[in-house]
Amino acid sequence: MIEKSEALRLADRLESDFIRSQTMVDAAAELRRLSAVEAQRDALLAALKAGPSIEYMLPTGPCACSKCQFVRMRRAAIKMVEGE
């Protein structure tokens, strides 16, 4: 069984309260949205990491070719997500 994230557990709790306000319903919806965004981010990071390893082919100096630009963008994206 897949374990629920803390955000989803909190959303369930907010929605299950006997006395709930529109603010609680809105907060639960936002927690669910954020949980989905987090899952998408994790899937994209996994895809970036699973890509072919071509870093060893990069020149040591500056290069403007599309392959080098892609590798640099991929590195930057992984660093941005993991640096959180």
Cβ contact 32:10 at 8 Å: no
Task: Please give the model's pTM, rounded to 2 decimal places.
Answer: 0.62
Q: Per-residue pLDDT tens, the chain, 84 aa: give them.
A: 457 788 888 888 888 877 778 888 898 999 999 999 988 989 989 988 887 776 666 777 778 888 788 888 888 888 888 885
| Residues 6 or more apart in contact with residue 17 via CB below 8 angstroms | 24
Largest CA distance in the chain: 64
C-alpha span between 39 and 28 (Å, rounded): 17
| CA–CA separation, 66 and 74 (whole Å) | 12
